[in-house]
Structure 1
């Protein structure tokens, strides 16, 4: 069968809608979308890499009977009235976990979700970006050139607005096609469980010691050097937050790491590290140098200590030395999950999260029955469809190891 030719999607059907910037215009949009029918497609544009926060700078919506709306959250920061109007409506998002936090900040909290990216993963699509999915499923080509743009810019250029409107232009059509594929594959129930789990997931808590995530920190081998990283990272974060700039635009991680290695004592020595002479960094030279000096003068008791073990199992590459039986359990479990994922045409991580497999195999139930493993998987957050597919095969794999005397 010859695939139909891919057609470029160049213009929104009703043209580029005006940007909604005030309460009066927003009220008209809310009324139109309340009177619309079917699911509502939603997307949000942020300024990641440009601004400190992850807030939305444009929200796009489309619904049958209402058309497309482009809402500027700077002028309309409260979308709770729209949320109430859509309370019983299924919201279609692509990669929902990326957009839900910034939508929640605006008061838009979906109760029913269809995530087209997650649906694609469950259906075994190898590439699940929106542009790729639209092309593979609907035979339409989306222009994706502005995905990494600075959406905090005002006014937004017309070609950006066109791009934004097109992102929701066929999202409901994509949802409908994937819904049919999930139904035909017997995976619709699985997808509904996954979508519900996305909505029910708790907010991500701030990391403890986030400075330890500095790129390249593995090069810093001394506690004094780690103190320099901590002081510079903390100062950079304060500067970035005050200026609403992405931290990397104030000072790149590479500069922080190099300063931790060199520990400069003078402004001249500091500016020999090239990123410190960048426009944003140069404004705070005295502060950077003072931060390095603070770290250098800390008493040993105040230096950051090496990270201790977390609450989970050790890295898998250490299992063979620490607990050979656990390493054999993990290898067997990974083989089972990989075979099942291949059978059901989906990534292994969507069938069962790698961390779930590790935790289960590091501390398995005392009685490794299918029922006991199902209980443990549920405790670890696995969905029922995942448990139904994996609990019994995992139990059989452990039983085989026990019979062979490898446990």
Structure 2
């Protein structure tokens, strides 16, 4: 694998040097037209989400092999040319750790910037660490150390602080160099097509559509509650999600997790009981007390069932089979020179132990590299345990 990568690295192109800042509609239209025929574009975003439910797009950085464009979204009135460019199915959009970029672009343009290539997802298939940060990847792949700073910049400020635009430009300047190196090395190793399914799933719009009925999944301690309390929590979490979405405010600004859990546990039926909830702001009690009590009643009216019966801890026998599966995963990952975490998680192996055969470990390249071996190991351990 290193031979394929070293061969690709010998052909490293120069980083694009020309940087243009785009802060008027005419310049954006011209820039988008110039890039319309590209096969691929490196893309990054800067946004603000501390005070809103939907992330607020502030800056979009785009690079091809020759130049970098810094698009000041807050200075523009017509983003349609940018939306068309990012939505062009003939242009591959290259990101590093694309999740949050995809979310903010989808929320802004109501369409996914597909197709994509994520260098963070791709790099482990060439032996790099799983979940490698952008600066580390650039250093390891291109022997280029990026300056630190501006990670806490308020990208909604104008003018931006000194050096912020240089920092933003670097986020795509070296991404435009890393992409062809990774792509060519993966192609030479016959692993480029392995990523097709992963990237297709990453740009499924349903991943970013709000389903208030599933808002309880965002609360870490939900499965510690009794089943009846879990149903109350689901109603409370759905209410909070609707309120946050309507007000375009962070969930925690509506109500923090701790009082939601306390209400679900205590199940108050009157204002005076609700008022005893720890950390429940008086303003929230005054404005939303009736709604919170209604959520309690609605939750109690639902069947007292666990929100996810498979979420509990495995028993001792299942834990042993999970360990067996994890060992098989580690062996397969070592043979393929891929970090185990890039192939599957412990939860993926636990799902196989529980009898599920529809997870990502049994799809595509993961099934061939490790999935079948994990299933064989787990079923063998189960058979051994069943023998008298």
Q: TM-score range by the shorter chain?
A: 0.7 to 0.9
RMSD of aligned C-alpha atoms? 4.2
Pairs within 5 Å for 1:3-18: 13-14=17-18, 17-18=20-21
Pairs within 5 Å for 1:322-401: 324=317, 329-352=321-344, 354-363=346-355, 382-390=362-370, 393-394=373-374, 397=377, 401=381
Any idea what the Cα deviations from partners look like across 1:369-400, whole Å, max 9, x if unmatched?
Answer: xxxxxxx66x8674432222236534653685
Structure 2 runs not aligned, ≥5 long: 1-15
- What's 2:249 paired with? 245
Pairs within 5 Å for 1:186-205: 187-192=191-196, 194-199=198-203, 203=207
Secondary structure of residue in 2 paired with 1:18: strand
How has the CA–CA distance of structure 1 residues 399 and 285 changed in structure 2, closer, same or farther, with 3 Å as cutoff? Answer: closer
Structure 1 runs not aligned, ≥5 long: 1-11, 365-375
Higher relative contact order (CA 8 A, sep 6+): 2
- What's 1:4 paired with? none
Report if aligned partners of 1:43, 1:168 keep a CA contact under 8 Å in 2.
Answer: yes
Pairs within 5 Å for 1:309-320: 309-310=308-309, 315=312, 317-318=314-315, 320=316
Report if aligned partners of 1:42, 1:60 keep a CA contact under 8 Å in 2.
Answer: yes
Q: Using structure 1 for the length normalisation, give the TM-score.
A: 0.70
Q: Separation in 2 of the partners of 1:330 and 1:309?
A: 20
Aligned-pair distance for 1:182?
A: 3.5
How has the CA–CA distance of structure 1 residues 292 and 343 changed in structure 2, closer, same or farther, with 3 Å as cutoff? Answer: same
Report if aligned partners of 1:94, 1:117 keep a CA contact under 8 Å in 2.
Answer: yes
Q: Using structure 2 for the length normalisation, give the TM-score.
A: 0.73
Report if aligned partners of 1:146, 1:163 keep a CA contact under 8 Å in 2.
Answer: yes
Report if aligned partners of 2:21, 2:69 keep a CA contact under 8 Å in 1.
Answer: no
Q: Separation in 2 of the partners of 1:52 and 1:156?
A: 24
- What's 1:287 paired with? 287
Query: How many pairs align?
Result: 364
- What's 1:129 paired with? 133
Pairs within 5 Å for 1:8-407: 13-14=17-18, 17-22=20-25, 24-34=26-36, 37=38, 39-54=40-55, 56-72=57-73, 75-78=77-80, 79-83=82-86, 86-105=88-107, 106=109, 109-126=112-129, 128-143=132-147, 145-147=149-151, 151=155, 153-155=156-158, 157-159=160-162, 160-182=164-186, 187-192=191-196, 194-199=198-203, 203=207, 206=211, 208-211=213-216, 213-217=218-222, 223=228, 227=232, 229=233, 233-258=237-262, 265=271, 273=278, 276=281, 282=283, 284-294=284-294, 298=297, 302=301, 305-310=304-309, 315=312, 317-318=314-315, 320=316, 324=317, 329-352=321-344, 354-363=346-355, 382-390=362-370, 393-394=373-374, 397=377, 401=381, 406=386
Report if aligned partners of 1:41, 1:93 keep a CA contact under 8 Å in 2.
Answer: yes
Aligned-pair distance for 1:91?
A: 1.7
Report if aligned partners of 2:126, 2:338 keep a CA contact under 8 Å in 1.
Answer: yes
